[in-house]
Structure formats: C-alpha cells, structure tokens
Copies of this chain bind each other. A is one copy, B any other.
C-alpha cells in the first residue's frame, strides 16, 4: 500500500460526485482497428467498460485498490489488503429503464456467505448512464448496501430472476422510486431472513436446509465478534 491512499467506499462516492462532478461529464466508447475508428452506441458493453474506467480514475487519484484475477469473481474492487472486508462492487444500468443488473448469482451468494459472511457488508457503487448518439453520460450515482437495493417481490421473499422454477440471480428493486409497492429491506437481518425463507420455497436450495441462517450468523460472530 506504499504511497497509495487508503480510502473507503464513501470517499470514492464523494470524490466522484462532489469534486470530479461525474454527472456533468460526457464521454464515449471507441473501437479502433487500423485506420478506422467507430463510436459505440450500444449498451451491452457499458458495464464492463465503466469498470475499467473506474479503475483508471482511482489510479489517477492514487487510491489503493486491488482487483481479482478472474474479473467475473466478487468483488470488483478490494479497497484494502484484507480479503474479508472493504469490498466494492460496481453496478451499472441504463438510466432510461429500471435497474436490470444482477446483484449476485443466488447460489454463489448463498454459498459465499457461509464462508465469508462479511460479504454482507460490501458496498455497491451504482451508476445509471445514458448513451445518446454515441455520447455517454452518468445520470446518477448511488452508494448502497445490498439490503438497501433488494426487496420482497410479493411472489418471492426477495426479488429474483427465476426461469422454469430455477433461481438464477438476485435482482434489485427500483429503490429510488416513490411508487414502490415493496420497500427495500430495513437492515441486513431482514435481508438474510428473506434469503433463508427463499431456501424453503425452492427445491434447488435443499442443500442449505434450515441451518443456513444459523451458520451464517455463527460464522459472522466468530469472524467479527459482532452479533448479526
């Protein structure tokens, strides 16, 4: 960490929004090959690209961070030398639609909480972006905990992507809307309870049985000295 500045997620949020004024900046994505350069006007690639951009911005600020070798792995950024805290995930979505990103793969998330229950504390930096005539801009920025962007779906204890009765991903609610039918969870306890209730409903979760929540709580107390 020599010479690098140790920051926490809220430092990054504040610097991006208040000092860098990211919401007033415009940008673009370009592909060059030989003498031909094309500007990108799509959306599918923006999440991946903004992650590269954020890394470059953090370098320019001399902030300390690490990334995983496998970029698909959680989390996108580690803000300290610890492997159990200071996790930062970047999520992005098209500002003209509802948040459509995956909070996490459901099975991976449940399994990972059994070994690193501290993952529950991860910070999520969320960008909504616009892409209009190849001009990229950031419409809004949020810093959230996982339970602050998840909610019941009515049908399920937590909003999920389900296909043919098989759970794929945990999906976000529209946390910024005034007309929400289901509010985000109030705290991590409610969020974990909703996951545990989901286990009871789907056959694919039989592996977790009724012990999942207990194991997560016990392990969290062991690791942090704090009761969940």
Contact = CB atoms under 8 A, between A and B. Distances in A.
A20 interface: yes
Given A31-B29, A71-B42, A164-B164, A36 B48 contact: no
A56 interface: yes
Contacts of A41: 52
Contacts of A50: 31, 33
A25 B44 CA distance: 25
Interface in A1-47: 20, 22, 25-34, 36-42, 44-45
A111 interface: no
A122 interface: no
A226 interface: no
B56 A40 contact: no
A149 to B, nearest CB: 23
Contacts of A36: 53, 56-57, 60
Nearest to A30: B30
A22 B34 CA distance: 8
A56 B50 CA distance: 23
Contacts of A52: 31, 38-42
Contact of A49 (B45, B55, B60, B166): B45
A159 to B, nearest CB: 22
A35 to B, nearest CB: 8
A45 B49 CA distance: 8
A138 interface: yes
B34 A27 contact: yes
A136 interface: yes
Given A38-B52, A38-B56, A40-B49, 4 more contacts: A27-B33, A31-B52, A33-B53, A40-B48
